[in-house]
Amino acid sequence: MLRVATWSERSRKPAGDNTGSCRDMITDKYHSGRFTFKTGAMFLLMFTALLGLTSCSSSDLSFPTEYQAVYLDNNQVFFGKITETNTPFPMLRDVFFVQTQVDQQKKETKHLLIRRGVEGHGPDFMRLNAQHIVVIEPVAPDSRVAQLIREAKTPRPPEATKEVPKPPAAK
The pTM of this model reads: 0.55
**DSSP single-letter state for residue 128:** -
- DSSP string for 77-123: EEEEEEE-TTSSS-EEEEEEEEEEEEETTTTEEEEEEEETT-STT--
Is 171 inside any structural domain?
no
Average pLDDT over residues 121-145: 89
Q: Does residue 169 belong to any structural domain of this protein?
A: no
Full domain range(s) for residue 144? 68-153
pLDDT in tens, 11-37: 565 555 555 555 555 555 555 555 577
Q: Structural domain tally of the chain?
A: 2
Residues 82, 115: one domain? yes
Residue 101 confidence (pLDDT) above 60: yes
pLDDT tens per residue, range 53-75: 555 555 667 888 899 999 999 99
